[in-house]
Amino acid sequence: MSATPATWVGRAWSCTMRLVVTDGRVLRPATQDLMALLDRVDAAASRFRPDSALSRANAAAGRPVAVPHLLVELVAAALDAARHTDGAVDPTLGLAMHHIGYDRDIADLPCDRREPACVPTARVGGWRAIRLHREAGLLTVPRGCALDLGATAKAWTADHAAHQLAQRYGVGVLVELGGDLAVAGSPPGDGWRIRVAEREGAQGQTVRVTHGGLATSTTTVRRWQRAGQLQHHIVDPVTQLPAVGRWRTVSVAAGSALAANTASTAAIVRAGDAVERFAARGLAARFVDQDGTVVRTPAWPALPAARTAGAPR
């Protein structure tokens, strides 16, 4: 009896979650494993849970705190992203997020808050001042800072889940967590066909992914008003305010969801010559200008319209 692919779609972390396996017989236990991992990551790294390991480390800024291995790995991934982008993707923006009004889960955030955004305060050292002792499991958040792992934790989790489930069940796996997508194991047919769009239900483009990951970063979805001014969740570490630049949405296909999301986020923060830089590095990327114009690098894996297996948002 041949295996039949199956899909689970749900909600967590205030975004759409999607799991696709090439053999539907393992969908139920694989979904349970995925949800258990999401719960562990939330308990370790949520900025909105006072009982999370990350919140405890933030509250003790300036002092080393013993943290679980999972948070060590998540912080290490965030530091790698900061290093590879020369600080464009910086995990020490927790207070900046709070100042612009992103101080609770996006689902609980008022659409329009009357009080103006707080004036950003100077950060001491930024990401380079974070001290992480991986062997001892000790994390020191810089004094005067708070960590926010939102730019990397979701993509790291998608990668980890896809590889873990593919190995555990011996099937092809696609995991999408709110726009960060990872695949592992043997893909179906000639690859996973993915619909890339700025938001759920919007027009997009079909691409084929056979390995690694694909991520979309956008300023058009997680946003709100504060004192009449539009805010969004991608913050420029220099200004500590929502990034303002040429691109409103960037999608990248790379060797992992984490690498793809790191590149797409950095491109929004530091627009500049991002298209030329990505093309020179052979990165597959799709850029959407503020007026809706789409620009692609030569490596972008476009296909004609076809059946889709998932839809990163």
**Contact status, residue 275 vs residue 295, Cβ threshold 8 Å:** yes
Q: Which residue has the higher pLDDT, 218 or 101?
A: 218
Tens digits of residue pLDDT in 258-298: 999 999 999 999 988 899 999 999 999 999 999 999 999 99
User: How sure is the predictor about 10, in pLDDT bands with cuts at 50, 70 and 90?
Assistant: very high
> What pLDDT, in 10s, does the model give residues 166-218?
999 999 999 999 989 999 999 998 899 998 988 777 778 889 999 999 999 99
Bigger pLDDT: 81 vs 230:
81
